[in-house]
Amino acid sequence: MFDFSDEQKMVAKMVRRWCDEKLAPATDALERNEIQPYALMRDFAATFGLPDMARAAFSRMKERVEKGADAKKPPPDDAAETTMRDPALMSIVAMELSRVNPGFCMSFGASTGLAGGAIMAKGTMAQKERFGLPLVTLEKIGGWGMTEPGAGSDAFGSMKTIARRDGDFYLLNGQKTFITNAPYADTIVTYAKLDDGRPAEDRPVHGFILERGMKGLETPPPMRKMGMHTSPTGEVFLQDVRVPKNQLLGEDESAPAREQVRDTFHGERTGILPMCLGIVERCLEESLRYAKERVTWGKPIAEYQLVQEKLARMFVHRENVRNLLFKQIWLVKNGKKLTMAEACVCKLYSARVATEVAMEAVQIFGGNGYMTEYRVEQLARDAKLLQIGGGTDEIQIGTIAKALLRDGLPTR
């Protein structure tokens, strides 16, 4: 796959039109936190019929499950489910949203993809209907709670949040941090180690579905951040939060959540790729335009070779990220999957070049690039988080190197 189809390009134009008409005019207010992104997220979903599509797909899945089918294997002739799972269309949405406001894309993805996706993928049918469906339809907002103050990249080994059995409940105690949407989330999928008497390092990790208003669950106001201002980030405090057994994700203590979480990490890392492409393309477009318009010493700065070198490198990065994205889409469409090392390559390279391209755009704009009036300033701040969230650059490098040393070059 080397390009999007004509139909996919038409969808991209429609999404870009919505971004130009709705998201771009609201971005200043979103960045100043005068408004939150959730009403616009619901407007976007309604504009493209996502809630109705999700409900219809769920109803058909429920009917199939009642007849004995596997809920995780949608039939190929179900247009709604096929469309919603289409990696090309999902990438287009992330690219177009990130061109205008990466923070908006992050909040949208964390709610529908991380929180909603975790429940729809791993929950029981009752959990999918009660908790997952309202998230993927944007009726409710979700958060996904893994990171802790002392357990970032070492998410499992250093996890301190504990779940203890208490009759028909679990008591959760601990703290999560840097959680997207936490200050406003209605539903939070939170992970904890089950205290089963074994040493802490050997205890199984499980997911729990929490609801706002539970006694002992506290979510302070949003944190102040360098970038991604549109995306509220916060902490989650758990003090003897009583969680019913039917809100253990999957309702199966014999199936620890480590593989569930690894799947989510994998999706998070590959999901950053289209976000990066959106940032790179917007920065390159803005830089090309500005370089032709800005005149110094009697000629446009586009005629200076040092500026040309920056533009050329931006384009090289754009082509590389775009090719990685198409490889990823092609694999998914053909029933294959990137290895963890390949997923780490996608995140490592695309996040680094998104930051580099955005900073070079600021440099090309000069003093104007440092002003909030010019969008490259926002994109540069937002891009930096993509080198940190979902596993830092250093973690990606370590994972790639270990896989190469263990398995050699990947082959198909």
- Which one of 96, 148, 268, 377 is the catalytic residue? 268
Strands 205-211 and 142-145: unpaired
CA 75, distance to chain mean position in Å, is 26
CA nearest to 71, candidates 143, 133, 134, 139: 133
Sign, Cα dihedral of 328, 334, 340, 342: negative
* Sequence-ordered alpha helix ranges (H) in 22-139: 24-31, 38-47, 50-66, 79-84, 87-100, 102-109, 116-122, 125-127, 133-136
Q: Is 268 a known active-site residue?
A: yes
CA–CA dist 81, 84 (Å, integer): 5
Residue (of 108, 101, 103, 119) closest to 48 by Cα position:
108
Amino acid at 201: E
- Residue 308, H or E segment: helix 305-333
Tokens linked to 33: 């936190």
Tokens of 52: 């109705």
| Residue positions annotated with a catalytic role | 268
